[in-house]
Amino acid sequence: MVDLGRIVVAVDGTSGSGKSSTCRGVAERLGLRYLDTGAMFRAVTWWMLHHGIDVHDAVAVAARAHEPVLSSGTEPTGPTIAVDGRDVSAAIRTDEVTRSVSPVSTVPEVRARLLALQREIIGDGGIVVEGRDIGSVVWPQAEVKAYLTADPAARAARRALEEGGTDVGATEQVLRERDRIDSGRATAPLVQADGAVHLDTTPYTLDEVISLLVGLVEQAQDPAP
């Protein structure tokens, strides 16, 4: 039996598959902490843009990767992310950051820096962690692993709705390109981790996906004999 207060739930998957809403819902329902590792990469990307660094120059990004000071709040009902003491929760969701985050996230020095921070935050567990390499790289020993996907058109519609009416076709193109970059990068590519349960969220409501993931946690707590 796994102690809920020490459990680590690792959720990976494609952009727009519902990871954030699902993970926040699961953490809130079970009284766990929550960490959005994607927000950390976005925060570093925002810092690079804010400081005039060419995000497509991997050498320049690597040289400054150690500088931004990140602070990630883990309250699921109100997760926060700050850089150098400045709340950037809204700033990291701009189109400019969205377009720039993939090249920044492929830089090994950025991934190494954030990997250490992510493991430090996970600590003794009691947390739901979402990202693209949580179950494969960040915390492969997680008691519960899930890999969320959805049909690209459904993902684009969801993301466009979240962003207030953004063009669905253009959003789908961005998501497909993000998938291509994330799956093809040399360091910690987007993959379904060993032992992860694949959940295609396309036909389900958010509440149904949350319940499916909570069910996986309950199985880990009390596995069948």
Tell me the whole-structure pTM to 2 decimals.
Answer: 0.86
pLDDT tens sequence across 5-39: 899 999 998 877 888 999 999 999 999 999 999 99
4-218 homologous superfamily: P-loop containing nucleotide triphosphate hydrolases (3.40.50.300)
What are the residue boundaries of the structural domains of the chain, listed by start? 4-218
pLDDT tens-place string over residues 165-183: 567 677 667 776 666 666 6
What does the DSSP assignment read for the chain? ---GGG-EEEEEE-TTSSHHHHHHHHHHHHT-EEEEHHHHHHHHHHHHHHTT--TT-HHHHHHHTT---EEE---TTS--EEETTEE-TTGGGSHHHHHHHHHHHT-HHHHHHHHHHHHHHHTT--EEEEESSIIIII-TT-SEEEEEE--HHHHHHHHHHHTTS--HHHHHHHHHHHHHHHHH-SSS---PPTTPEEEE-TTS-HHHHHHHHHHHHHHHHS---
Q: Provide block-wise average pLDDT over 10 residues at a time, the chain (225 residues).
A: 88 86 96 96 98 98 98 95 97 92 94 97 97 94 93 71 66 69 64 89 91 94 69
